[in-house]
Amino acid sequence: MNPAERGHIEGAAMRCVVVGSGFGGAVAAARLSQAGFDVTVVERGRRWEPGSFPRDESDLNNRWLWEKDRGLYDLRWLDSMISVQAAGWGGGSLVYANVFARAPGDAFDQGWPASYNRRELDPYYDLAAHMLEVRQVSRNPYTTALPTRTQSMDALVSKLGRSAGTVHPHLAVQFAPPGTPVVNRHGQPQFGCTFVGECVLGCNVGAKNSLDHNYLALAEKHGATSLTDTEVRAIRDSGSGFVLSVRDLESEREWEISADSVFVAAGAIGSFELLMRSRGLAHGLPRLSSTLGTNFSGNGDYLAFIKRRGVSVDADEGPTITTTTIVDFDLNKNRVWFQVQDGGYPRALLNLVAHLDPTRATRTAVSRGLARAIARLKIDLTDRASARGHIMTLLLMGRDSSDGRLSLDHHGEARVTWNNRKNARLYRAEGQVARLVAKALGGSMTASPAWRYLRKGVTVHNLGGVPMGVDIAHGVVDDAGEVHGYPGLFVIDGSTVPTATGVNPSATITAMAERNIEAVIRRHLRDPLWRAPEWRHVQPGTVPEDEAMRAMNRSRIERSGHGVVFHEKIKGRLCATGDDEGAQLELTLELECRINGWRVFLQDPLRKVTVTGSADVQGLRAPAAVTGTIQLFAPDNDEAMQYELRLVAEDGRTWSLNAVKAQQAGRPWRMLHDLTTLDSRLTGSTSPEPLAGTLAISASDVVRLACSVRGSAFSRPQRLAAVGRFLAYFARQAARGVYGRDQ
């Protein structure tokens, strides 16, 4: 029986079971219910009402961990990686950091079906943004200012010249006056954010726009049945539908549920485990593709802690994440792209981490050295707890290799084969940027304890494991999420995301779910025009991260090949060239000369170097600002360097300075003189006559110039290589000017 024939059986609505209530499952539940189907949502976790989330971090048995008390967090030790996920009505939305970010367009270029791209998904991103009511961080209602962390990061990126690549991302948070109840656009009561920084612990205020306040509320409003504290153990194909084996985790009662269609949305790890267990059953789903478990990704996640000495960052203040900075550069001819986000570090989370034992499952195999490292970790965390206000986290994510392999261990739980070495370039770059940020903030950086002591990555963004493909040989599901060989069985969560998005993936998972469930409903109802009722209210949204990505991409191209920066000090006297021969002007230039990218520099026929600085001009109370360029040994004139500078005084007066360093062929003993002497001409908008004369670089300033050359590459070896390349080019071109073009 094909899916269309399963639409309505003898006049009854099609029976649909949704497994999981995270971003994919919540979308499926809401849309199927709105379309009139009989929907049951099965969620293994409990309902977490505002005020019920755990806060006693000293007692891990009290609702914190899934394995101890069916608590909020499910920490999975996947052998090569550690996964942190949530359990509850609302899935990962209960503890995620609220960020709604669209994947960049080029993220879809490799590994994705041709039907997926930003143009295709943007309308569904808009719909998801409308449903989640996203907006940028507002001012703290108690201080009337942006959070201290936000201000610190904004000031830092401005100092580093990275403001164009930094945004305040959209957040799924109610920024209403705290303490005042509001009704969201789905008719659900919520309260305004109190800026206590506990988003990743579950919002006890009720300000987080988690899925229980929108999609899941709509599903129940339209008749969906919810089964919480209930786990699906297996799925089998009955020939006319599907049968799910379920267990009540409170009473341990087991029974079966029949369905015409099943929508698996238990998260990348949970969906893989469920499908793999079902494939192993003789009468389960034995025809599932052999690609099941491939293309797993941790989304390039990297966690770092920054401790500022003597300066509080008020880590408890504001939502967990308030800024995103795009990093995009070339490293050894390879592009490295990732993003950096500030992170809150509330006391409850710090103390919770301090009580965790990273060797809990492998204590017998722990070496003495590792045991000592764990002891040091405890001391370190205790010290950090005493300086809580001075600590913030950095959350980094990028495009990893997305080629991890999931399998089941002898307990029937997932493990992953992951190659850290293959992703070393990304991890190393993330760590270097984290250290750079820490240093710029006047502090120190420490990687996550799991990475620092165990070399295990920690991911909160599990993706993949149930790959999409054109047929059963190339994937488990098609591009709409339907399982090959099992019509009516769908997977509609992060497990089907083909590659790392490099950004917080919840928005992409939600948009994909909206797209795919719309196609499913249209097909079942035989109505090609069916749309979610909320479409009539949706407006195309702003995408702050897109311009930041474009700006950093332009910067990467401009800096391709790495560049250098050096400083020149030039001074001299210019005299009038007309009737007023007695007019003279003392001039001193302090210039910063910059080549942003070596490849762009070599492609420029004029070999231009960007110049900024100041000019101490006789008669001006303050130095004039200088901008302009140097033509550094242009190929058509290897014997000369030409300066084209513009001087702007405080009162608006402007001058144009043209200066040339000209070498004389065949006279090598004059090389130093020629390279430090500039024949100059100054013209100004208010000057009656041009001024001309000689400017020069003194011997001491030549030494300072040579010592000032710095590479602008990312790593120290690359910076040294950039300096060496520039000096070699300069020496070669200077020699050509003296000895001729054949040198």
Q: Which of 530, 554, 578 is the last residue of a domain?
A: 554
Q: How far apart are CA 482 and CA 486, in angstroms?
A: 8
Q: Which residue in this structure is represented by tokens 């990275």? A: 162
Cα atoms in the 13 Å half-sphere on the side-chain side of 52: 11
Mark whether 406 and 330 lie in a shared domain: yes
Residue 581 — very low, low, confident or very high, per pLDDT cuts 50/70/90?
Answer: low
Could you tell me where the beta strands, DSSP code E, fall in 420-482? Answer: 443-447, 457-459
Domain count of the fold of the chain: 2
pLDDT digits (tens, 9 = 90+) for 50-60: 999 998 877 76
3-state secondary structure of 264: strand
Average pLDDT in the 152-163 region? 90
% residues pLDDT > 70 (the chain): 88
Mark whether 182 and 88 lie in a shared domain: yes
CA distances to 654, 658, 676, 694, 696 from 737, rounded to whole Å, are: 33, 20, 14, 20, 19
Nearest to 647 by CA among 628, 632, 629: 628
Residues 6+ apart with CB under 8 A from 375: none
Q: Which residue has the higher pLDDT, 148 or 42?
A: 42
Residue 12 — very low, low, confident or very high, per pLDDT cuts 50/70/90?
Answer: low
In what order do the strands lie in the sheet containing 15-19?
225-227, 38-42, 15-19, 261-264, 489-491
pLDDT digits (tens, 9 = 90+) for 251-308: 999 999 999 999 999 999 999 999 999 998 888 999 999 999 999 999 999 999 888 7
Residue 364 has pLDDT above 60, yes or no: no
Structure tokens given for 737? 């000017």
Mark whether 615 and 508 lie in a shared domain: no
pLDDT at 69: 86
Q: How far apart are CA 218 and CA 188, in angstroms?
A: 9
For residue 92, what is the domain's CATH number? 3.50.50.60
Residue 575 — very low, low, confident or very high, per pLDDT cuts 50/70/90?
Answer: confident
Angle at 665 between CA 664 and CA 671, to 5 degrees: 60
Mark whether 528 and 627 lie in a shared domain: no
Nearest to 490 by CA among 520, 464, 524, 531: 520
In sequence order, the β-bridge partners of residue 42 are 19, 227
pLDDT at 586: 86
Residue 553 has pLDDT above 70, yes or no: yes
pLDDT at 674: 81
CA distances to 6, 23, 482 from 490, rounded to whole Å, are: 14, 15, 4
Mark whether 460 and 600 lie in a shared domain: no
Residue 579 — very low, low, confident or very high, per pLDDT cuts 50/70/90?
Answer: low
Mark whether 156 and 286 lie in a shared domain: yes
pLDDT digits (tens, 9 = 90+) for 314-334: 778 899 999 999 999 887 778
Asked whether 359 and 407 are in contact (CB, 8 A), the reply is no
Could you tell me where the beta strands, DSSP code E, fall in 292-403? Answer: 302-308, 324-331, 334-343, 391-398
Q: Which residue in this structure is represented by tokens 């996947």? A: 78
Q: How far apart are CA 722 and CA 714, in angstroms?
A: 11
% residues pLDDT > 90 (the chain): 64
* Amino acid symbol at 351: N
Mark whether 523 and 622 lie in a shared domain: no
pTM here is 0.86
Residue 737 has pLDDT above 90, yes or no: no
Residue 2 — very low, low, confident or very high, per pLDDT cuts 50/70/90?
Answer: very low
Cα atoms in the 13 Å half-sphere on the side-chain side of 315: 25
Mark whether 444 and 575 lie in a shared domain: no
In sequence order, the β-bridge partners of residue 226 are 41
pLDDT digits (tens, 9 = 90+) for 86-111: 999 999 999 999 999 999 999 999 99
Mark whether 279 and 370 lie in a shared domain: yes
Q: Taking the mean position of all CA atoms in its chain, how far away is CA 434?
A: 13
Mark whether 419 and 364 lie in a shared domain: yes
Asked whether 279 and 476 are in contact (CB, 8 A), the reply is no
* Amino acid symbol at 256: E
DSSP string, 372-387: HHHHHHHHHHHHHHHT
Residue 199 has pLDDT above 70, yes or no: yes
pLDDT digits (tens, 9 = 90+) for 629-649: 999 886 666 667 889 999 898
Could you tell me where the beta strands, DSSP code E, fall in 500-596? Answer: 564-576, 584-595
Structure tokens given for 523? 């097909």
pLDDT at 377: 52
Q: How far apart are CA 579 and CA 601, in angstroms?
A: 42
Residue 445 has pLDDT above 50, yes or no: yes
Dihedral sign from CA coordinates of 578, 584, 585, 586: positive
pLDDT digits (tens, 9 = 90+) for 391-405: 888 999 999 999 999
pLDDT at 9: 36
Residue 45 has pLDDT above 60, yes or no: yes
Mark whether 124 and 184 lie in a shared domain: yes
Q: Which residue has the higher pLDDT, 185 or 351?
A: 185
Residues 6+ apart with CB under 8 A from 531: 518
Q: Which domain holds residue 142?
A: 4-554
What average pLDDT does the chain have? 88
Mark whether 461 and 599 lie in a shared domain: no
Q: Which of 554, 588, 617 is the last residue of a domain?
A: 554
Rg from Cα positions in the chain? 31
pLDDT at 578: 64
DSSP string, 85-147: EE-STTGGGGTS--EE-PPPGGGGSSSS-TT-SHHHHHHHHHHHHHHHT-EE----TTTSS--
pLDDT digits (tens, 9 = 90+) for 657-710: 999 988 766 567 677 888 888 899 988 865 667 889 999 999 999 999 999 999
Structure tokens given for 267? 């998260």
Q: Which of 554, 575, 595 is the last residue of a domain?
A: 554
Residues 6+ apart with CB under 8 A from 57: 64, 348, 349, 351, 352, 355
* Amino acid symbol at 245: S
